Structure 1
Amino acid sequence: MSVKQVNIQVKQLSKISAEVESVSLPIVIDSELLTVAEFLKAVVLQQVEQYLQRFKEQSREAKLTQIEEALRTILFTGKLRFSSPVKYKDIDVAQEQQRVLQAFEDQLFLLFYGEQEFTVLSQEIVLNDNNSFVFIPLNFLKSTF
């Protein structure tokens, strides 16, 4: 097992603009050759671990500040909103990995590495330091008629 630093770009395409968000992630892999399914699972695992770490590191003082802000919001608007629901702290990694694999199979996003587009979970990826992954989420078009 080794840790590989991969560059990921997420492109949001819309009528107004084409936003590109770049992220560099360390993922744990067995070798330089892996399948699309293994890559997606590694990315989900890293993202869930990073989220849980941030959630655990949130100080008690910050939590009290959130509670105070929520109480002020209730007093002035009568509405209660939480920015970080407690139910998200217990995330099932296997379920999230399966959800991403299903989204890939349902073509809810496109995945590119360098010049190559991946369409099947069993396709193999040869990692190198020059290329970056590009995710393009596909949004359903709204009818305008």
Structure 2
Amino acid sequence: MEIKVTVKQLGRKHPVLSEQHLEIDYDGNSISLEQLLKLIVQQQVGAFNAKSFETEDQDQIQAPLENYLNILTDTGKAGFGSIYNEKRADLEKARENAIQAFEDGMFAVFCGETRLENLKQIIDLSTQPVFTFIRLTFLAGSYW
């Protein structure tokens, strides 16, 4: 099943990533938020593990597009698509981290205009909603 996902960061004029179409391994019309998160993590871990790891003799520079460079420097993360850590992602650990991060309030998930606040909440996929993930940033500092 194909779903539409947008990832944003609060306080930015432009989303860090634009709308993406993800292919998840699911055929039903309704799904819980917990299942959806696990399937998205499974798809992303699979995509990460499928990437080839470059070695020094095969290093290829993948420079970002000119209009995307400002967004990268604003976020403080200017990457060139190369992966230098050859360790593969662990699917179970990644799933646990995603669920824990949601429970801890590290990111918010919206289905269309509705915020999803409970992992057991059922989502109707027959309407082909757009899912928005917003990374929440905590302020640092103290009052004294």
Q: TM-score, normalization: structure 2?
A: 0.73
More strand by share: 1
Query: Contact 2:48 / 2:89 at 8 angstroms: preserved in 1?
Result: no
Give the one of 45, 50, 73 matched to 1:48: 45
Identify which range, 25-34 or 118-127, moves more after superposition.
25-34
CA shift, 1:18, in A, is: 3.8
- Measured in 2, the distance between the counterparts of 1:13 and 1:115 equals 16
CA shift, 1:135, in A, is: 0.5
Provide the secondary structure at the position in 2 that maps to 1:55.
coil
Q: Name the larger-Rg structure.
A: 1
CA shift, 1:86, in A, is: 3.2
CA shift, 1:142, in A, is: 3.4
> Aligned residue for 2:9?
12
Q: 5+ unaligned residues in a row in structure 2: which ranges?
A: 61-81
Provide the secondary structure at the position in 2 that maps to 1:84.
coil
CA shift, 1:22, in A, is: 1.4
Whether 1:140 aligns to 2:138 is yes
> Aligned residue for 2:57?
64
Runs of 4 or more above 6 Å deviation = none
Q: What do the CA deviations read for 1:20-76 (whole angstroms, capped 9, x no partner)?
A: 5211100011511110000000000000101111126x6xxx651339xxxxxxxxx
CA shift, 1:121, in A, is: 0.6
Query: Contact 2:106 / 2:135 at 8 angstroms: preserved in 1?
Result: yes
> Aligned residue for 1:86?
85
- Measured in 1, the distance between the counterparts of 2:33 and 2:108 equals 12
> Aligned residue for 1:34?
31
> Aligned residue for 1:79?
none
**Paired letter, 1:27:** I
Map 1:88-103 onto structure 2 (within 5 A): 88=87, 90-103=88-101
More helix by share: 1
- Measured in 1, the distance between the counterparts of 2:124 and 2:140 equals 37
Q: Tell me the matched-pair count.
A: 121
Provide the secondary structure at the position in 2 that maps to 1:112.
strand
Give the one of 102, 105, 110 matched to 1:104: 102
Aligned-residue identity in percent: 28
The Cα RMSD (Å) is 2.4
Q: What do the CA deviations read for 1:87-145 (whole angstroms, capped 9, x no partner)?
A: 43x22101100100000011111101012211111111111354200001101123498
Provide the secondary structure at the position in 2 that maps to 1:128.
helix
Q: 5+ unaligned residues in a row in structure 1: which ranges?
A: 68-82
Check 1:53–1:63 CA distance in 2 against 1; reply closer, same or farther (3 A cut): farther
Provide the secondary structure at the position in 2 that maps to 1:102.
helix
